[in-house]
Structure 1
Amino acid sequence: MKLNIYNDCIDRDWERVAYLMRYFDLSDAPANTHQQAFENSYVVTFVYDDQTLIGFGRAISDGVSQAAIYNIAVDPNYHSQGIGKRIVQNLLSFVKHCNVVLYTHPDTIDFYKRLGFRRMKTGMAIYVHEEKVEQMGFIE
């Protein structure tokens, strides 16, 4: 395995991003929507095994005190190899001066706890597709 980590959106495989987001039921958005979201983010991380995109994530931030991490995904063939951890650590290195909140799937909470994240007691949200998000266990 030859890992390459990139922190830019130049020549990224947006169809693969959309595929992995759909695979993990994180988003049904098309590739160009993901491209726009990543390009508008404060920092992005893409991990390739040679020429194949195997993982990614992004953070939004005011660049001063607040940040949020979104869209962490790793190809299932590469799970349990530390790639998700590397993505999160890479993103955190750019926002280490900020309070960081994390938006994640209910099934991955323990993974993030192992990386030092703690559950919030006061987090609130409004979702466009509230019924679907509630069925997935994101909200009460």
Structure 2
Amino acid sequence: MLRKEANALTPQMYAELRQKVDFQEYSLEDVAKALEKTLFSVVIFDDHKPIGIGRIVGDDRIVFFIKDVVVDPEYQKQSIGYTIMHSLMNYIQEKACENAYIGLMATPNTEKFYEKFGFIQRPNQDFGHGMVKFVDKSYKIDNPMEDK
């Protein structure tokens, strides 16, 4: 029997489901620290087995980022993702101020799914490309304002 539970996401669930869909892996220590900063999360269970997750990070008023919407491949195409997004969007609707920003980075070929919730693809006539950068700890950023 499927059930939905708010704010039940654990590092183990996060890591296991992301691994099933070949998402970037992180140490459980890093995941635990990150989940402490989650504003809201939702987990879909089949009995006691977690089969879908999603979470929101941000400032809880003006900026929200939807992260880690993952559904176990065995359960995809069964409206699990829709249920996750519906829960996330309801949370944002309750907390957000007028004109708050909701961002997400869609994995390839999932854009149409997110359009069902009102998201738009970029670039378009009003907005440039969305951008992303991954941290490389060996990379040094020079500050041109510092004295050399």
TM score, norm. by length of structure 2: 0.75
Q: Distance in 2 between the 1:126 and 1:42 partners?
A: 22
Are 1:19 and 2:16 matched, yes or no? yes
1:16-59 Cα deviation digits (max 9, x unpaired): 42122122222211333323322311111111111000000111
Within the candidate set 66, 85, 100, 1:88 is matched to 85
Q: CA RMSD in A?
A: 1.8
Secondary structure of residue in 1 paired with 2:7: coil
Are 1:124 and 2:131 matched, yes or no? yes
1:62-88 Cα deviation digits (max 9, x unpaired): 111211101000111111111101101
Structure label with greater radius of gyration: 2
TM score, norm. by length of structure 1: 0.79
Supply the AA of the counterpart residue of 2:35: F
Q: Distance in 1 between the 2:13 and 2:41 partners?
A: 15
Instruction: Name the count of aligned residue pairs.
Output: 126
Within the candidate set 23, 28, 39, 2:25 is matched to 28
Are 1:75 and 2:75 matched, yes or no? no
Q: Which runs of 4+ in 1 moved over 3 A?
A: none
Query: Percent identity among equivalent residues?
Result: 26
